Chains A and B, each alone.
Chain A
Amino acid sequence: MNTRKKNIFYYYKWILNHYKEFKGYAVMLFLFTILSTAVTSLYPLVFKSILDRIVEFFNNKDLINVNSLNQLKYNITGILLLFALGMIIANLYPYYRGKLNLKFEMLLRNIYFKKLLQKQHPFFMKFRTGDVTTRITTDIKSHPPGIPWFMCSGFFRAFNSLCIVIFCVAIMFSLDYKLTLISIIPVPFVVGVFFILEKKIRAIFSETRKRVSITNDFLESAFSGIKIVKSFSAELFQKEKFKKVLEERFDIEVEAVKIMGLFHVFFTVIIHIAQVAVLFYGGIKVINGDITVGTYFAFYTYLGMIIFPLIDIPQFFVTGSQAFTVIDRLDEIDDYMYDIEDESTKVELEDKIQNIVFENVSFKFENKDYNSKEPFSLKNISFKINGGEKIAIIGRIGSGKTTLLNVFSGIYIHDKGKILINNIPVENISRNSYLKKIGYIQQEPLIFSESIWSNIDFWRNISEEIIIRNSKMSQLHEEIDKLDKKYEEKLGQKGIGLSGGQRQRLSIARALSGYPDIILMDDITSALDAENEKMFWQQLEKEHKDITCIIVTHRMSTALMADKIIVLNNGKIEAFGKHNELIKKSPIYKELYSEN
C-alpha cells in the first residue's frame, strides 16, 4: 500500500505542512530564539564588563567617593536589571514552545480521529482497536519523543542550540581562529556516525511502538472478557501471559536504551577531547605568550558554553528518528484507502424505497487468507424485494446471513454483481441519503457508556414523543421507567447496566426512532420472546406502515409470518419464495420446518 518515497525530507515536509496554521506563532518563536541566544551568549560578556568596571573604578583611587560609589552601584544595577528583563522574557520561550506542542497534539489527534471516522469496514478488519487507539493517543503526546513535541520543542530547541553554537563559535573565532578550528574538528565525525546509526535507531523504535500496541491489545481483551476469564479461573494464566508479553518487550526496550546510550557517550567523549586539545594547545600558547590569559579564559568559557547545545543537536536527530516512526504509523492510517468516497457526483435517494434488486452479487472478505478453498462468503446472490415486504432469512451457521445484512447496510461493499435501489445502481447513490433510510439492529448491538436516552437518540435530536413511542413498541419503555434515573440512567461500557435482551431492545428502539424505510434485523430472539415478538409485529404494522423488513431468524413463527423467505446455504441462495413453495422445493427448509 505504501508507495511513498521516504527520506528525511519527506518527514520534514510532513511537519512543515502542519505549520501552515501556525505561521505567526512560528515567527514569534523564531524571534524568541534570537533573544534567547543573545541573552545566553552575552551573559559572560556582561558579567565580565561589570567586573572590569569595578576593577577600573577601584584603580582610580582619586575618583573614589561616596557619590561616584553610588553612581557605580546604580549603573551596575541598571545594567543587570535590563539584562534580567531580557532573561525573564527569554524564560517565556519554553512556555510558548510548550503551548505550540499542545496545539500540535490537539491538532493531530483531532485530524486523525476524524479520518478514522471515515474509514470503512475493511480498515477495521486489518487494524485492531487497541492498535489504532495507541496510534492516535500514546504516539501523539507533547513530551519527547512524541511527534507534537518534536515538531515544535524538538525543532526549536535544536535551532536555539544551533544559534548559540554559531554565535559562540563566531566569538571564539574572533579571539583565536587556530584554536577554534581545533575545537571544531570532531563535528564531522559525529555527524558521520549518526547517519550510520540512524536507520538502526529507527527500526528499533518502530519495533518498540509495535510492542506497546500488542500490550494494549492484550489488556483490552483481558478486561472486556473478564467474566469468561473469571468463570474459567483463568486469572492466573492471564497473569502469566501478561508477564510474557512484557518480557518480550524487555529485550527491544533495552536495545533502544543501549543504542541511545552508546551514541550519547560517544558524542560526549569526542566533544570533551576537543576541550582537552584546546586546554593543552591553548595553554602552551599562553605560556609562549601568543595569547593572553584573559583571552584563554574567555575562550575556555565559551567552549564550555557550547557543550550542552552541541549535545542537543544530534539529540534532535535521534529524537527525530523516533518521531518519524510515529509519522510512519500515522501514514499507515492515511494509506489504507478505505474512506467514504466523494458524494458530490451521487444521486440523492429522495423517494421511499420501492424495490431492491440483487443481481449475482458476490462478496469476499479482504485478507481472508485462512480459507483459500472458498474465498467468497456470498456467491451469486440474486433476488428482488419490493417495498413494504417482510423478508425472512434463514440458514445454518456460517451460511452468510449476517454477511448479507451487512452488504445490505453498506457496511460491506460487494465485490461482484449489481445492487439496484429503486432501479438506480447503488454506486451512483449518495451514501448518506441511503443510510438515512435504513435501520440496522445487529446481533451484538453497540451500546456506549452514555445515558439510555443518548444511546437511543444517537445524536439525531429526535423528539421525546417519538423516542418514547418507539421505546414502548420495542417493549423497553416499561423497564426503563422502573430505573431510578429512567432515560438518564448512565450505562457502563458496552451497555453494562442492561441485560442482553434489553440492549437489543434499545437497539431496536434506536433504529426505529429514525423511521427508516427498511429495517434490518439480525436475530432478535434474545430480545423478544415469542409472545412479545407477536405484539411487536402488530405494533410495527400500525406505527411504521409499509416498512420493509429483512429479518434473520431461527424462529419458524417469524418465518411463517414473512411474505417471502430466503434460504441461505454456504453463501448461496438455496431457495427464495413463499412458505408453501419452499416446503416443496427446499430440503433445508423442510428440515427446519419439521423441527418445529
Chain B
Amino acid sequence: MKKSLLYRLFPYFKEEKLSFFYSIITVLFVTVFQLGRPYFMRKIIDNAIVGGNRDIIFFYSGMFLLFLILGAITSYIQVLITSKLGIRVVNSVKNRVFSHIMTLGMSFFDKNQSGKLMSRVESDVEQLKVIFTNSAIMLFSSVIVLIGILCIITYEQPYLGAIIFLSLPFIFVVFYYYLTLLRKIWINVRKKNSEISGYIAEYVRGIPLIQLFLAQDKVYNKLEEYSQKKFNLENKAMFYDNFVFWSFFSFFSESASMILILWYGINGIYNGTMTVGTLIMFGELMRQFFWPMRNLMMVVNQINVSLGACERIFDVLDTKTDVKDIDFNYEKIQLKDKILFDNISFKYENDYILKDFSLEIKKGEQIAVIGPSGSGKTTLINLLLRFYDCNNGDIYIDNVNIKNISILGLREKIALVLQEVNLFPGTIMENLKAFNDEIKDERVIQAAIELGSIEFIEKLEKGFYTELSEDGKNLSMGERQLISFTRAFVRNPDILILDEATSSIDTITEKYIQQALFKLIKDRTSIIIAHRLSTIENSDRIIVMENGNIVEAGNHSKLIKNNGLYSKLYNIQKTKPLKENN
C-alpha cells in the first residue's frame, strides 16, 4: 500500500521535472562534499600526523576548507530549490484536491462538513511538505552514505560485510512491520485531529447562541473528551515508537552488536586470526554503519506518518461525482418552448420525497409553488439544477433530457436565489458578478439601479468596492437578500428560481422588487417558492404541493373558487386576527 501511494504522488513531481532533477544533482554534490570532509580528516590523521608531514596537513586542511565552503553554497542552493519545489508540489496537490471537490455532487457536501474538507485541502496536504523537503533529502543522502559505507566495509572486511548483508532482510522485515503498525495508529490520530478541528470550527460559529442557552460548560466538556481521546491515541503511538521500537533498535545496534563483535574479535585475537588493530576498525565501522541506518529509519518513519495524511487526500480524490456530466455537448441552451418534469421520483436517503411527479412549465410562465414543508418544493429545484439526479423519470428542456446537456450549459441559463444568502470573501462587485470577470461593471450597476439595491450600496463608504466581512456580516439580513437578488439579475437568466427568498423582505421593498421583477420577468420563465401569498397572487399559475404531489393547480381566482387547500391558506391570511384590538 505504501508503494502505491508514493506511486500516485509521482505525477506531481513530474510536473516539476527540471527542479526535481536539479534538486537531486545538488543533493549529490552536498553529499559528496559532506563525505569528503571525514575522508580528508582521516588522511590528515593517518598520513600527515603520524608521518609528521606539514605540507600534507596544509594541503588537506585546505581541501577540507574548500569542500566546506562549496558544501555550504550547494547546501543553500539545494535548500532553496528543494523548498520551492516542495511548496510548488504541495500547492499543486492543494489545487488539485480543491478542484476535485468542486466537481463533486451535492450529496458529497451533505455528508462532509466544511471543517473536514478544509483540513483535507490545507493541513493534510501540508503534511506532505515534510516528505518533499527535508525528508526526501535526508532519505537520499542517508541511502548514499549507507551504500558507501557498506562498500567500504565489504572492501576492507569482506566477512563482516557479508554478515551485514545477510542481516539486512531481517532488519527490513521487522522495520516494515513496525511501520505498518504505526501507520494505522497515525491515521487514526489524524482522524481525531480533524474531528477536533471540525468540532471547534462548527461551535465557534455558534458561540453567542451557546451563551444564550448557558451551554458553555457542556460544549467545553465535549471538547475535553475529544482532546483526551486524541491524546491517548498519540501517546500510544509514541509509546510504541520510543519505548518499544527505538529502545530495541538502540540496544541491538549499539550494545548487542558491539558485544558480539568484541567476543568474536577477542576469540579471533586469541586464536591468532585477527589483530587488535583490525578489531578496532571493526568496531569503528559498525558504528559508522548504524548511524546513517538510524537516520534512514527515522526519515522513513517521518514519511510513513505523512503518508497517513496522503491516504485521506487520495480518498477524496478517488470519490466520484454522482451526477454525470456530458462534456462534449456544451451548447448554449435557450428555453424556447417548455420545461417538463416527466413522472419523476426522488429520494435523498430512504423516503421518496417526490413520487411520479409531473409538471409542465411553458416558456414565459410565472409559476408559484406552495405547500407545507417537506412537500418537495426545494427538491424540485435541486433536480432541475441537477444538484442531484432523479431516481426515476426525466426532466426535459425543450424535449431535450437535461442529462444530455452539459451541466455548465444548463446552469448558465438558470439563476438561483436562496433564502440563506451565501456571500464570499471579496467586494460587493465581485459577489454580484459571482466572480465572473467577463461581466462588465456597467451591467452590474444597471441591475442594481433597476432593483433598488443601489440605494444602500452607494451609502457605503467604498460603495460597490466594499469588502464583505465573513458571510457579509457587515450588512443587514435584508441588504444581503438584495445583493443575492441583484446577483441573479446580473446573470440575465432564461429561468429564474426563487426559493423562499421573498419572505424576509418587508412589504414596501418587496413591492419595489415586485415591480423590477415584473420588468425582468417579461420573456423569462420563473419558478417561485414562497409563503407570501401576495407574491403568489400575481403568478400565471399556482402549483399547490403536498407530500410530493400536486394537489391543486391553476391561477388565483380559479383556485379560490375551488375551495380547496389554496383557498383555505389564502383565507387565513386575509381574515381578521383572533384578537380584535380597538
A226 touches B106 (CB 8 A): yes
Given contacts A227-B418, A227-B422, A276-B68, contact A50 B262 (CB under 8 A): yes
How distant is the Cα of A264 from the Cα of B79 in the complex, in angstroms?
10
Residues A445-504 near B (CB distance < 8 A): 446, 448-449, 458-460, 479, 482-484, 492-493, 496-497, 499-502
Q: Is A192 an interface residue (CB 8 A)?
A: no
Of the four ranges (under 10, 10 to 19, 20 to 34, 35 or more), the interface on chain B belongs to 35 or more
Binding site secondary structure of chain B: helix
Cβ-closest chain A residue relative to B476: A398
Assess whether A332 is interfacial by the CB under 8 Å rule: no
Contact flag A279-B61 (CB < 8 Å), given A69-B266, A132-B204, A561-B578: yes
Judge whether A142 is part of the interface by a CB distance below 8 angstroms.
Answer: yes
A553–B123 Cα distance when bound, in Å, is 44
Nearest CB on B from A191, distance (A): 19
Known: A129-B205, A133-B204, A396-B506. A231 touches B61 (CB 8 A): no
State which of B242, B251, B420, B573 has its C-beta within 8 Å of the C-beta of A98. B242
With A246-B95, A279-B44 in contact, do A398 and B456 touch (Cβ < 8 Å)? yes
Q: Is B509 an interface residue, CB under 8 A from the partner?
A: yes
Chain B residue contacts of A114, Cβ below 8 A? 216, 220
State which residues 374-407 of A face B: CB under 8 Å.
394-399, 402-403
Alpha-carbon distance A94/B243, docked complex (angstroms): 9
A58 nearest CB across to chain B (Å): 6
Minimum-distance CB pairs A-B, first 10: A397-B478, A225-B422, A84-B255, A223-B114, A95-B242, A459-B218, A237-B435, A231-B416, A261-B79, A561-B577
- Give the residue of A72, A84, A220, A276 whose beta carbon is less than 8 angstroms from that of B61: A276
Size category of the A interface is 35 or more
* Closest partner residue, chain B, to A448 (CB atom): B202
- 28 A–B pairs (Cβ distance < 8 Å), ordered by A: A47-B258, A73-B262, A95-B241, A106-B228, A121-B208, A130-B470, A133-B204, A221-B470, A232-B416, A232-B434, A232-B491, A233-B407, A235-B103, A239-B95, A257-B79, A261-B83, A265-B76, A279-B41, A287-B48, A395-B506, A397-B505, A402-B476, A525-B504, A530-B572, A534-B572, A554-B507, A557-B575, A580-B582
Cβ of B152 within 8 Å of any chain A Cβ, yes or no, is no
Contact B478 A530 (CB under 8 A): no
A246 and B94 contact, CB distance less than 8 A:
yes
A95, A125, A397: the one within 8 Å of B506 (CB): A397
Given the complex of chains A and B, what is the CA–CA distance between A537 and B57 in angstroms? 100
> Complex: how many Å from CA A340 to CA B202?
21
Is B239 a contact of A502 with CB atoms below 8 Å? no
A268 vs B44: C-alpha distance when bound (angstroms): 21
A227-B422, A232-B487, A525-B532 are contacts. A370–B466 as well, Cβ < 8 Å? Answer: yes
Q: Which one, A77, A218, A250, contacts B87 given CB within 8 A?
A: A250
In the complex, residue of chain A having the shortest beta-carbon distance to the beta carbon of B234: A102
Q: Which residues of A contact B416 (CB under 8 A)?
A: 227-228, 231-232
Q: 8 Å CB contacts to A: which residues of B193-238?
A: 196-197, 200-216, 218-220, 223-224, 227-228, 230-231, 234-235, 238
Most chain B CB atoms below 10 A, which of A436, A458, A592: A458
Q: A106-B227, A223-B101 are known contacts; what are 12 more A-B pairs with Cβ within 8 Å?
A: A72-B266, A88-B250, A95-B239, A221-B470, A228-B416, A235-B103, A279-B61, A279-B64, A287-B57, A371-B460, A440-B209, A484-B350
User: Is B259 interfacial (CB 8 A cutoff)?
Assistant: yes
User: Is residue B373 contacting chain A, with contact meaning CB distance below 8 A?
Assistant: yes
The stretch from B19-27, B159-167, B275-283, B391-399 touching chain A is B275-283
Binds B, one of A19-27, A174-182, A209-217, A356-364: A209-217
A578 at the interface (CB under 8 A from B): yes
**Cross-chain contact of B211 among A229, A340, A398 (Cβ < 8 A):** A340
Residue among B41, B75, B246, B469 making CB contact with A265, cutoff 8 Å: B75
Answer yes or no: B551 CB below 8 A from chain A CBs.
Answer: no
Q: Which residues of A contact B223 (CB under 8 A)?
A: 109-110, 113
Chain B neighbourhood of A81, CB < 8 A: 255, 259
Question: Given the complex of chains A and B, what is the CA–CA distance between A250 and B92 in angstroms?
Answer: 12
Proximity string of chain A (111-140) to chain B, C-beta cutoff 8 Å, 1 when within and 0 when not: 001101111110011001110110011100
A225 contacts B424, C-beta separation under 8 Å: yes
Let me know if A526 and B95 touch, CB within 8 A: no
Residues in chain A near residue B196, CB distance under 8 A: 109, 137
Q: Once the chains are docked, how many angstroms separate the CA of A370 from the CA of B87?
A: 37
Indicate if A224 sits at the interface (CB-CB under 8 A): yes
Q: Does A190 contact B (CB under 8 A)?
A: no
Collect the chain B residues with CB atoms within 8 Å of residue A232's CB: 411, 415-416, 434, 436, 487, 491
Bound complex: CA A558 to CA B572 (Å): 11
Docked complex Cα distance between A50 and B242 (Å): 28
B534 adjacent to A595 (CB under 8 Å):
yes
B37: which A residues are within 8 A, CB to CB? Answer: 272
Q: List CB contacts (< 8 Å) of B106-150 with chain A.
A: 106, 109-111, 113-115, 117-118, 121-123
B387 touches A257 (CB 8 A): no
Q: In the complex the two chains form, is A219's CB within 8 Å of B220's CB?
A: no
Is A171 engaged at the interface, CB distance under 8 Å to the other chain?
Answer: no
Which A residue sits closest to B491, measured CB to CB?
Answer: A232
Chain A contacts for B267, CB-based, 8 A? 69
Check: B440 CB closer than 8 A to any chain A CB: no
Within 8 A of A (CB), among B287-337: none
The residue that A95 contacts in the complex, of B109, B208, B243, with Cβ under 8 A, is: B243
CB of B573 within 8 A of CB of A482, answer: no
Provide the residues of chain A in CB contact with B6, threshold 8 Å. none
Q: B3 within 8 Å of A by Cβ?
A: no
- Expressed in whole angstroms, the minimum distance between the Cβ of B529 and any Cβ of chain A is 10
Bound complex: CA A223 to CA B108 (Å): 11
Query: How far is A378 from B246 in the complex, measured between Cα atoms in Å?
Result: 66
| Neighbouring B residues of A266 by C-beta, 8 Å | 72
Quick check: is B254 within 8 A (CB to CB) of the other chain?
yes
- Give the CA-CA distance A460 to B213 in the complex, in Å: 8
A443 interface hit (Cβ, 8 Å): yes
Interchain CB contact under 8 A, B109 and A226: yes
Residues in A neighbouring B419, C-beta threshold 8 A: 500, 526
In the bound complex, what is the Cα–Cα distance between A254 and B84 (angstroms)?
6
- CB neighbours of A369 from chain B (8 A): 461
Candidates A109, A220, A529; contact of B227 at CB < 8 Å: A109
A533 CB, nearest partner CB in chain B, Å = 8
Chain B 66-93 near chain A by CB (<8 Å), digits 1 or 0: 0011001001100110011001100100
Inter-chain CA distance A365–B361, complex, in Å, is 47
- Contact between B87 and A217, CB atoms less than 8 A apart: no
Q: Pick the contact of B581 from A212, A234, A578 — CB < 8 Å?
A: A578
Which residues of A are found within 8 Å of B94, using beta-carbon distances?
242, 246
Q: Are B54 and A284 in contact (CB under 8 A)?
A: yes
Cβ-defined partner of B372 (8 Å) among A58, A373, A440, A529: A529
Q: B56: nearest residue on chain A (CB-CB)?
A: A283
Q: How far is the CA of A484 from the CA of B348 in the complex (A)?
A: 12
Other-chain contact of B235, A99, A234, A262 (Cβ < 8 Å): A99
Q: Which of B64, B79, B349, B506 contacts A276 (CB 8 A)?
A: B64
Does A184 interact with chain B (Cβ within 8 Å)? no
A435 contacts B242, C-beta separation under 8 Å = no
